[in-house]
Amino acid sequence: MTPPNPVALVTGGARRIGATIARRLHASGYDVALHYRDSHAEAQALAAELEQRRAGSVLTLQADLVMLERLPDLVAAVVARFGRMDALVNNASAFFPTPLATATVAQWDTLMAANVAAPFFLAQSAAPHLRAAGGAIVNLADIHGERPLRNHAIYGVGKAALIHMTQALALELAPSVRVNAVAPGAILWPEEGTEAAAQKRLLAATPLARMGTPEEIAEAVRWLLRDATYCTGQVIRVDGGRLLA
């Protein structure tokens, strides 16, 4: 009898880096639950693409992760559909500037809910199923969780907390569940755009002198989930050496 495919829940999985992660995991044999918030059309298109490659292998789930009370339902839906859960990829994030002079409590709450609380409570809900499967969690952190980005203090605090959470959960969930993180550098420019001069400065500060690709992030995630069997509590920087410069 053929063993069942491993199952991964990817938050923010409909587009950009999340979609690339979902494609890479699917190509590696995972069945995939694609979470999205507003990107319904993109999620359905990606699901159709992956279903064409392997029927019955994709579930789409809509939720605003800031609504923390809904998070157990996401995990329950994955297990109800596939009968198991082997991987949680906390990719969804919120990112916007919060200069000290104008930052608000609402901005704090939004950034902390998306970048800290949602990954924590998804991990809490997923933990029994991940333990049963001997699974793993990968959190998408940021090099700015270690080095501040001007005018983005709340975002950076959130990503720093996510890095600490990665290490704390690695201790709590060992030995049956591994928990690691990937910290990207310059992979995609923000959708609202970045000035050409700022892009040039950023690349000049990157020792490998180029942007990374979503595929490189996806491969790091895949490696941590499937092959890094003696790694837990680690943060893998995929930043072209930028944090060193």
- The confidence score (pLDDT) of residue 46 equals 98
Angle at 234 between CA 21 and CA 228, to 5 degrees: 60
Q: Where are the domains of the chain?
A: 7-244
In order of 4, 73, 207, 214, the CA distances from 92 in angstroms are 27, 17, 28, 14
DSSP state of 115: I
Which alpha helices (H) appear in the chain, and where do they start and end?
16-27, 40-53, 71-82, 105-112, 118-133, 153-173, 196-204, 214-226
- The confidence score (pLDDT) of residue 204 equals 86
In order of 132, 156, 189, 227, the CA distances from 115 in angstroms are 26, 10, 19, 26
155 catalytic? Reply is yes
- Domain at 7-244: CATH code: 3.40.50.720
- The confidence score (pLDDT) of residue 191 equals 65
Beta bridge partners of 182: 140, 236
Q: Give me the catalytic one of 30, 36, 155, 230.
A: 155
- Ranges of residues in the chain whose predicted pLDDT is under 70: 191-195
CB atoms within 10 A of CB 70: 15
